[in-house]
Structure 1
C-alpha cells in the first residue's frame, strides 16, 4: 500500500504565457519587416509586444489590420491613422522620427512577401477576427478621373488641395497667407512665420529687380502674397494667375480692400492658357512661379518652361521656387499622392535647371532653402496643434488628422534631406547675349557676395 508520504511531490503546474493579439501578430510582422519590431505595439485587447523603450503604436481595432490586408504598405498605415484605428502614444513627429531611426539602425529591409507569407497573414488575420470586407476609404482621399494632366483633371487636383476653404488656410497660415517656404533671417525672440514670409517676398522682389511700373506675371499666385507685396511695396503692375477658384476670389477681395485695382489683374485660368493670350508674349519684365511647378507634370514641364521664357521681354528675369526630390518618389509617395497633392511631380534640382536652360533661359543663381522649410512646416504644425479643436470643427477629425500626418511627415522629409526646395533665378538674354544682371548679389542681400 502506497501512502501519501510515499508519493513523489507533485510538479508545479507550468505557467502559461498569455497569448494575445500582439503575440499572435509579432512573428508575422517581424517576418514581413525583415527583423525585430522597431516599435512597441499595443493591441485592442491590451496585449503588447516589441521593445519597451520604443515608441508605442496603439492598434485600436481589428479594422486597422483589415485595412492593411486590403491596402498593404504606406497608404494602408496612413489610412488607419487618419481614421483613428492606429495612433501613437508619443507626439507624432517624435514617434515617427524614432521609428525611422530604429528602422535605420537595425537595417530593416522588408523582403517581397511570398505567397506563403500572404497565406500566413490571411490566417493570422482570420484567427484575430480581422478578415472582412474592405473598410470604407476616408472621404478626404482624392478621387481624380480623366487623362493625367488634362486641364479638367488638373483643375480637380488643384481644387482638391487649395479649395479646401479659405477659412482653413486662414486658420493655418499667418497674415501674409503665404503657403510656401519662408526665408528665416533671424532667431531673435518675436521673429515668427509672418516675418520669414515677408523676408522671402522681399528677397524675390529684389532678385527679380522689380521697380515701380514694372510688369510681373505671377503664375500660381496662391492667396496673392507675392502679388500683393510687389504691387503695394514696389509699385509693380501684376497679372496674377491661379487655377483655384477660392484663391482667385480671395486675391480679388484683397486687391479691392487695399485699393490696388489699377495695379493688379487676377486671372482664374490654367497656366497653359497664358500662351493663347497674344498680349502676354514678351510683355513682362519678370515672371514668378512659387511652388507651382510641382503640379505641372513631368511630360508637360518643357512646355511650361517655354511659357516662362516667352512671357518675358529680353533681359527679363524669372524666379522659380520649387521643391525637389530624388527619382524614387517623384510624387512624394502613396499618402501624399492620394490625400494631399495628386499628380504632383518633383525631380532633382539639377534636372529642373536643365529644363529651364533648355527653354532658352540662362540660370544665374540657385539658392537652397531646405532648412528654411523645416522651420516653416514646423510653424504650421504648431498652429495646427494649438488650434486643433478649431480645425476639427471646421473640416472634421479625419481631414485634420490628414493634415497632421502631412505636416509632420513633410517636416521630416526636409529635415532628413529626402526633399529640398530651391529658388532658381533665370534671365532671358537679348539677341546679343546681354543679360543686364548685377555683377554681385549686393542688391539681393544688402552685402557683397
Structure 2
C-alpha cells in the first residue's frame, strides 16, 4: 500500500483505549493481593461473571456477596472454611490442586500480609461497600461444634467425642472399608497390586468375580497385625484398648490372637456397634466393651495397652495424667503402643477449622514431647516408627470413596456436612504429604523393678511374613 497518502488535513483514525473492567473480580483482585502481600496464585470468578487473575491458576468462585461479607468479618482460615462449607465459595476442578497451589505459594514466596496505611484501609473499605460486602454477619454454619463447660472436663470431652464419632455408624460404614478402622493404615504393597509382599493380605475375588488386588482394607489389616506383633499378643493375653473406635483392633486381637480385650470408648454409637459385632462374631467371652472415660478406669494388670489415635483428644494439661493411667494399667513387663498424630511446636492444635468442625479441643504436639511424657510416667520407649506417608494414602482412599459416593453422603448427612468432610480429608492428606503433620507408632514398656523389659533382642519378627505368634 505504499504511495497512498491521507488527504490533506485528515487525521489518523483514533484507536480507542481499552477501559479497565469494573467487574467484581477485577476490583477484588488488587485488594486480595495487597492483603496477601504478593501476587494471588488463584484466578477469581465473581457472582457477576467477571474473572481476574492468572489464566493458568486454579479458579476460586465467589458465588455471592455473602461470601465476601463472611471474609471481611473473618479474614482467616475459619472464614474461608465457612464460606466453602456453605457453598458461598468454591474451587473449580480439583480441590487438592487448589489448596496445594495456595500453600505452596505461601511457602515458596514467603507471602506475609503487609501493614496497611489508613489510606489503603479506607480504599479497601470503600471498594467493599460498593460491592455490597458490608452487611449483616452471615450465620455460623450449623455443622460447627458448640461445646460448653470447662476445657477437658469429662462432660465436655464426652460432647467433643460425640460431635465427631457419633455422626452416625452408617456414615462411617459408607466412608471406611469393612474393617471400620478410622486411623492410619499400613501399606505393605501398592494399591491394586495382587499377590506377593508382606503383611497378612490374602488375594481373592471381588463380588464380580474379578481378582481383588491390595486395597485400603488390606492396609488396615496389616496395621492391626503389626500392632498385635509389637504388643507381643498371644492366646490368653490381656489387652486394654483405650479409644477403641469401632472395634477394629479389639475384634482382630480377639479373633486372630485369642486375646482377652477390654475395649473402651466415650462414643455411644461406637460402643453400640462394637457390642453388636462382639455378639455377632461369638466373642463375648473374649471382648468386654465399656462406654467410659479413660479417667474412670481404676485398676488393672494388663499385658498390653493400645491407644490408636486417641491421645490427640486428651488435651495438653491432661496428658501426664493419661500416661500415668497407662503405666498404672500395665503389669511389669507389659507393653503399650501409642499411635498418635503430631504437629510442630508453633501450631500444636488441630487448627481453627478442624477444632471447630471435626475434632473440638484436639491437641497435637511434637513427637519428642510425647516421648518425654511417656518416659516421665515411668515407661521405657523402645521403638518409634513414623508412618506419615501411609496416612496420605489412607486419607486419599477415604476421599476417593467420598467423591465416588457423593450423592449417598449428601442424602445421609446433608450437603453442608459432606462439604465439611471433603475439605477435612483434602486438607489433612496435604498436611501429611507436606510434613506439616506427622503420625507415629510409639512402643513402650513398663520395666520391672530390676529393669527387665521382657522385650525381644530385635524387632525383626514384627515385620516378617507368616505367623509371628
TM-score of Structure 1 vs Structure 2, range by shorter chain:
over 0.9
In structure 1, the partner of 2:377 is: 359
In structure 2, the partner of 1:73 is: 76
* Aligned-pair CA distance for 1:99: 2.5
* Aligned-pair CA distance for 1:7: 7.5
Give the whole-Å Cα distance in 2 for the aligned partners of 1:15 and 1:285. 78
> Is 1:85 paired with 2:88?
yes
Instruction: Give the alignment's TM-score, normalised by structure 1.
Output: 0.95
Give the direction of change, closer, same or farther, for the CA distance of 1:207–1:77 in structure 2 (3 Å limit).
same
* Aligned-pair CA distance for 1:123: 1.9
Instruction: Give the alignment's TM-score, normalised by structure 2.
Output: 0.91
5+ residue gaps, structure 2: 1-6, 195-212
In structure 1, the partner of 2:260 is: 237
Matches within 5 A, 1:271-420: 271-274=294-297, 277=298, 280-281=299-300, 283-420=301-438
SS at match of 1:315: strand
In structure 2, the partner of 1:218 is: 241
SS at match of 2:444: strand
> Is 1:26 paired with 2:26?
no
* Aligned-pair CA distance for 1:443: 2.2
Give the whole-Å Cα distance in 2 for the aligned partners of 1:114 and 1:210. 65
2:439 is aligned, of 421, 424, 441, to: 421
* Aligned-pair CA distance for 1:9: 6.7
Aligned residue pairs total 439
* Aligned-pair CA distance for 1:115: 5.5
Give the whole-Å Cα distance in 1 for the aligned partners of 2:9 and 2:185. 86
SS at match of 1:266: strand
Give the direction of change, closer, same or farther, for the CA distance of 1:307–1:26 in structure 2 (3 Å limit).
same
> Is 1:443 paired with 2:461?
yes
SS at match of 1:425: strand
Contact 1:38–1:103 (8 Å) recurs in 2: no
1:170 is aligned, of 170, 173, 181, to: 173
Give the whole-Å Cα distance in 2 for the aligned partners of 1:415 and 1:400. 23
Contact 1:201–1:229 (8 Å) recurs in 2: yes
5+ residue gaps, structure 1: none
Give the whole-Å Cα distance in 2 for the aligned partners of 1:119 and 1:296. 45
In structure 1, the partner of 2:135 is: 132
Give the direction of change, closer, same or farther, for the CA distance of 1:172–1:20 in structure 2 (3 Å limit).
same
Give the direction of change, closer, same or farther, for the CA distance of 1:264–1:117 in structure 2 (3 Å limit).
farther
SS at match of 1:327: coil
Judge which range, 342-351 or 105-114, deviates more.
105-114
2:186 is aligned, of 183, 199, 206, to: 183
Give the whole-Å Cα distance in 2 for the aligned partners of 1:113 and 1:64. 23
Judge which range, 407-416 or 118-127, deviates more.
118-127
Deviations 1:269-319 (A, max 9, x none): 111111xx3xx23x1000000000000000000000000000000000000
* Aligned-pair CA distance for 1:125: 1.3
Matches within 5 A, 1:263-278: 263-274=286-297, 277=298
Give the whole-Å Cα distance in 2 for the aligned partners of 1:117 and 1:159. 46
* Aligned-pair CA distance for 1:27: 1.6
Give the whole-Å Cα distance in 1 for the aligned partners of 2:16 and 2:180. 69
Give the whole-Å Cα distance in 2 for the aligned partners of 1:17 and 1:426. 66
SS at match of 1:320: strand
* Aligned-pair CA distance for 1:120: 3.6
In structure 1, the partner of 2:159 is: 156
* Aligned-pair CA distance for 1:111: 2.7
Give the whole-Å Cα distance in 1 for the aligned partners of 2:97 and 2:425. 13
